[in-house]
Amino acid sequence: MNRSIVLLFALIGGLWACGPENDILRNQVTATGARVRLLHAIPDGPAVNVFVNNAKINGTSLTYFSTFPTSEYVALPPGAANVQVTTVASGTVTAQPVLSATAPLEADKYYTVAAAGTAAAPVAVVINDDLSVPDATKAYVRIINLVSNGPGVDLAIGAASPIVSNVAYKSASAFVPVTVVANATNLLAFQVRQTGTTTLLGASTNLSVVAGRKYTLLIRGLVGRTGTQAPAVSSYVSR
């Protein structure tokens, strides 16, 4: 079930798309390349800029839980991508290196690259995004666990038994099918729980799902922290 490849660098940013009208595969530019979605999930990390093969790829600097690009995926050349992450220069303060690495990317494949860990020990999780839809009458969901000091997690709908179990830190589950609720909002209440318990990690999350779509739920933050650094559940449309 673990579809992540852990790389020791902090590639920051990501796509954040929502709404049934946003069909990522339909809207995606057809240029040859690897498709990458970037997500900043280091709770105490600095604002950064990201360079791939010496070219800056983000516009505005990226802070915790900001994303790049704002829709679809960013197309990058396939092969060994040289990635450099730096702090943001300001006035007489020059940019400082945060991390650098070589990321293997394959043409015409889709990836989510999420920076996790802490400012003192950043890591990145590279996840292959399977955007196929075997059954167009179902919606599909997965969970990514990016809480570096937390337990494995289960994903459930309401108080029911888990539909995904024991997803470890730096891991993503496979997408699993769920039945679309036949009401005006199509809302499902998802719970992210500590594995094998009914204890929630972050609040229950209501998500409006549409048949034929894929959704990612993400648990981020740090256990024991408060405010914006506390564990929280977010969601976005994967397809």
Render pLDDT for 160-216 as a digit per residue (tens, 0 to 9): 999 999 999 999 999 999 999 877 677 899 999 999 999 999 999 999 999 999 999
Percent of the chain with pLDDT over 90: 49
Please count the CA atoms within 13 angstroms of the CA of 4 that sit on its side-chain side. Answer: 25
Tell me the C-alpha distance between 202 and 212, whole Å: 27
Q: Whole-number mean pLDDT of the chain?
A: 84
Q: Which one, of 136, 143, 161, 120, lies nearest residue 202 by Cα?
A: 143
Q: Token digits for 108?
A: 């015409």
Confidence of residue 31 (pLDDT cuts 50, 70, 90): low
Confidence of residue 40 (pLDDT cuts 50, 70, 90): confident
Tell me the C-alpha distance between 90 and 116, whole Å: 25
pLDDT tens digits, 45-68: 998 888 888 999 888 888 888 878
For residue 69, whether the previous peptide bond is cis, meaning omega lies within 30 degrees of 0, is yes
Q: Token digits for 8?
A: 């020791």
DSSP annotation of 229 reads G
pLDDT tens digits, 146-170: 999 999 999 999 999 999 999 999 9
Which has the higher per-residue pLDDT, 167 or 22?
Answer: 167
pLDDT of residue 67: 78
pLDDT of residue 28: 47
Q: Is 195 exposed, middle or buried (0-12, 13-18, 19+ CB in 10 A)?
A: middle
Block residue for tokens 């990690």: 201
Which has the higher per-residue pLDDT, 21 or 237?
Answer: 237
pLDDT of residue 184: 61
One-letter identity of residue 199 = T
* Chain centroid, CA 46 distance in Å: 18
Q: Say if residue 14's pLDDT is above 60.
A: no
pTM of structure: 0.83
Residue 8 φ/ψ, nearest 5 degrees: -90, 70
Give the end-to-end CA distance of the chain in Å, rounded to a whole number: 19
pLDDT of residue 26: 46
Alpha-helix residue ranges (DSSP H) falling in the chain: 24-27
Please count the CA atoms within 13 angstroms of the CA of 117 that sit on its side-chain side. Answer: 17
pLDDT of residue 87: 87
